[in-house]
A and B are shown apart, each in its own frame.
Chain A
Amino acid sequence: DAKTTQPPSMDCAEGRAANLPCNHSTISGNEYVYWYRQIHSQGPQYIIHGLKNNETNEMASLIITEDRKSSTLILPHATLRDTAVYYCIVRAYNQGGKLIFGQGTELSVKP
């Protein structure tokens, strides 16, 4: 079973920031938070990951609370192409590629 809880769906206006929350209250000290997304009919795409510090890359920012029980993925200027299902996953660093996907959040970016 997935160890994360996400809202099933969210809407965002094009050009605005999309803030996708994730709860992972049972996260262990050696587990990282990963975000992937799946655009319709495509394979999942890695976005970002972090342990406890906030992270930023060319796609998104990841904000992890100090107690690490929740996190937020931020797409700073959402576009229509960001419409996808976003998955928040926790995984220990040495668990290899066994990603346990939950239901994710279906983000709809609207014009």
Chain B
Amino acid sequence: DTAVSQTPKYLVTQMGNDKSIKCEQNLGHDTMYWYKQDSKKFLKIMFSYNNKELIINETVPNRFSPKSPDKAHLNLHINSLELGDSAVYFCASSQVAGSGTGELFFGEGSRLTVL
């Protein structure tokens, strides 16, 4: 079984559309994250949730809205998509938010292409 799974793996859409990426982890972790990897391959954290509570919110346009229905799921909804949103979005999870080994388990990524 995949530990951290994301859907869809690929998403091609037009500017101005609204889209969602879903993430689920079966590791029993309390904390989940969204990272973005741009065309220059830099990985940056966007959001983090601990037990459904938002704990990290980096400087991200408010067109991006994370939602955590339970601690095993963290979805990312993006409104009014722009060309610059094209990237690979990685979901991750870890056992404890504020301390612990710092070991994050990443999903395989969702490649978003905005045309």
Interface residues of A (CB under 8 A from B): 32, 34, 36, 38, 41-46, 49, 85, 87, 91, 93-101, 103
Contacts and interface: CB of A to CB of B under 8 A. Distances in A.
Given A44-B43, A101-B44, A91 B109 contact: no
Given A43-B4, A43-B92, A103-B42, A96 B109 contact: no
Contacts of A98: 45, 48, 56
Contacts of B108: 42-43
B75 interface: no
Interface residues of B, number: 29
Given A96-B48, A97-B33, A97-B97, 11 more contacts: A42-B109, A44-B92, A46-B103, A93-B100, A93-B102, A96-B50, A96-B55, A96-B98, A97-B104, A98-B48, A99-B104
Interface in B28-75: 31, 33, 41-45, 48, 50, 55-56
A32 B90 CA distance: 23
Contacts of B101: 49
Contacts of A93: 99-100, 102
Contact of B56 (A38, A49, A96): A96
